[in-house]
Amino acid sequence: MLKSLTSQLRTIWTILQHSFTKAETVQYPEQMPYLAPRYRGRIVLTNDPDGQERCVACNLCAVACPVDCIALQQGVKEDGRWYPEFFRINFSRCIMCGMCEEACPTNAIQLTPDFEMCEYDRSNMVYEKEHLQIAGTGKYHDYNFYRVSGLAIAGKDKGQAQHEAPPIDVKSLLP
């Protein structure tokens, strides 16, 4: 009985000492918390260093997405590049897990440290390609998918990519 009473009194004393400790609260809109550069927030589509869109519409992000919030359709440009005819992310479903970013073979889809996406209308949370596409390269400044891949596009034929030897004609006997 006495033991529990002293325990209660000690609790009261401990709480009273908290009159002099600083509040832990971060007063959010006035006091922005630090977000690391790799914080997982709003998703963007990036361009390669030449200013062409990186996305090749391979659908791997849509497959990796655990909540199925990504929808896209592949198209082929006249120069041979693949591109998404439309690219749609439903951010009211998105859980910001970053699986799409990990799945992306061309570093096109990336997550940014922005999470302030407030809308009065839920349909405004559906972002189309023009909302997602940014002008910059995002986190990877030098990577250009078409310069390392074997796919032939206008201005870059087979064998002209980085670390790529010219193709061998296997039907020829000449050395």
Partner 1 sequence: MSELDTIGFGLILIAAAVGGAAILTWFERRLLGVWQDRYGPNRLGPFGALQVMADMIKLLTKHDWVPPFADRAVFVFAPTAIVVAMLLGFAVVPFGPELYILDLNIGLLFFLGMTSLAVYSVLLAGLASNNKYALLGGLRSAAQMVSYEVFMGLSLMGVVMLTGSFSLRAIVEAQRDLWYCIPQFLGLFTFLIAGIAESHRLPFDLPEAEHELTAGFHTEYGGMKFAMFMLGEYLGLLLISCMITTLFFGGWLGPWLPPIVWFSIKVFALICFFILLRAAIPRPRYDQLMALGWKVMLPLTLLNLLLTGVIALLLEGA
Structure tokens at 44: 């963007």
Report the nearest approach of partner 1 to the CB of residue 36 (Å): 24
| CB-nearer residue toward partner 1: 10 or 77 | 10
| CB-nearer residue toward partner 1: 19 or 123 | 19
Residue 91 near residue 126 (C-beta atoms within 8 A): yes
Residue 49 near residue 148 (C-beta atoms within 8 A): no
Report the nearest approach of partner 1 to the CB of residue 22 (Å): 7
User: What is the total residue count of the chain?
Assistant: 175
Q: Torsions phi, psi of 19, nearest 5?
A: -60, -25
| CB-nearer residue toward partner 1: 29 or 175 | 29
Report the nearest approach of partner 1 to the CB of residue 27 (Å): 8
DSSP assignment string, 74-130: EEE-TTS-EEEEEEEEETTT-----HHHHH-TTS-EEE-S------SSGGGGEE-HH
Which one of 14-22, 34-42, 55-63, 134-142 is the stretch in contact with partner 1 (CB under 8 A)?
Answer: 14-22
- Answer yes or no whether residue 11 interacts with partner 1 by CB under 8 A: yes
Site for partner 1 in 16-35 (CB under 8 A): 16, 18-19, 21-25, 27
- Answer yes or no whether residue 172 interacts with partner 1 by CB under 8 A: no
Q: Torsions phi, psi of 8, nearest 5?
A: -65, -45
**The only residue of 3, 6, 14, 56 in contact with partner 1, by rule CB under 8 A:** 14
Structure tokens at 133: 């596409």
Residues that bind partner 1 (CB under 8 A): 1, 8, 11-12, 14-16, 18-19, 21-25, 27
